[in-house]
A and B are shown apart, each in its own frame.
Chain A
Amino acid sequence: DSGVTQTPKHLITATGQRVTLRCSPRSGDLSVYWYQQSLDQGLQFLIQYYNGEERAKGNILERFSAQQFPDLHSELNLSSLELGDSALYFCASSVTASSYEQYFGPGTRLTVT
C-alpha cells in the first residue's frame, strides 16, 4: 500500500457525461500527478499540481480539468466523455515538486459506454 488513495475504484458511465475522480496523496506529500493508462497508449502524464497550484501539463484534453484543494487532495474532472476516454486513471504523489520518487494510487477504472 503506497498510502495514496483514489475513489471510486470503478466507474461506468455513458458518452457525453461528466465524472469526477478523487485522489488523496500520502501524508506529507505536496505534489500530485495524474496519469492515464489505456491499452494502446501506455502510461501518459496528464497534469501536476503542487501545493494547490498547477505545475505542469501534459497530454491533457481540454475536456479534462483538475484542481488541488487546500487539504491537498486532488480531483480530475472529465466531461463530454467519449468511448476513447475509457482507461485506468492513476494519481501519484511526491513530497515536493522536485522530489524524484512518485508513489501511485490504486487507480480508477473508467468505462464509457
Chain B
Amino acid sequence: GENVEQHPSTLSVQEGDSAVIKCTYSDSASNYFPWYKQELGKRPQLIIDIRSNVGEKKDQRIAVTLNKTAKHFSLHITETQPEDSAVYFCAASIRSGNEKLTFGTGTRLTIIP
C-alpha cells in the first residue's frame, strides 16, 4: 500500500520567515495530495491540495509543489504568523473508487514571535 513520509517532525521559524515541509510518497498511482492543519485538540482542516496534473498551486501565503517524477510534494508558508503554529499533515490518495487518505506523521510548526 501507499506509504507517506514527512519531514521535518518539528520546525521552528521566526515570525515573518518562510517554512517548508516536505513529503514523499511511494505509490506512483497516487494522484491527490492534500495538506491539513491541526491545532491542539481540534479537527484536521484542509488548507490546500494539489492534483497530479498540476505542478504548483498557491493560495495567498500558502503554496504546494508536486514533483511526480521524484514522488515528492512540499508545503510552503511565507510571511509566517503566530497563528500558523500547528501540526501540519500531508496525505496522498489514489482515485480508484475509494479515496482513503494515507497521512504523513505530521510536522509541528512553531512560529517564534
Contacts and interface: CB of A to CB of B under 8 A. Distances in A.
Interface residues of A, number: 25
20 contacts: A2-B43, A2-B45, A33-B100, A42-B89, A42-B106, A43-B91, A43-B106, A48-B99, A50-B98, A55-B98, A56-B98, A97-B99, A98-B99, A100-B51, A102-B34, A102-B99, A102-B101, A103-B46, A104-B36, A106-B43
Contact of A48 (B44, B46, B100, B103): B100
Interface string A84-102: 0000001000100111111
Nearest to A105: B43
Contact of B105 (A2, A42, A48, A50): A42
Looking at A98, A99, A102, the one whose CB has the most chain B CB atoms below 10 A away is A102
B98 A43 contact: no
Nearest to B32: A100
Interface in B93-111: 93, 95, 97-106
A25 interface: no
Given A48-B100, A101-B34, 9 more contacts: A2-B43, A42-B103, A48-B98, A55-B98, A99-B99, A100-B34, A100-B49, A100-B99, A102-B46
A100 B44 contact: no
Contacts of A42: 89, 103-106
B61 interface: no
Interface in B25-61: 32, 34, 36, 42-46, 49, 51
Contacts of B36: 104
Contacts of B89: 42-43
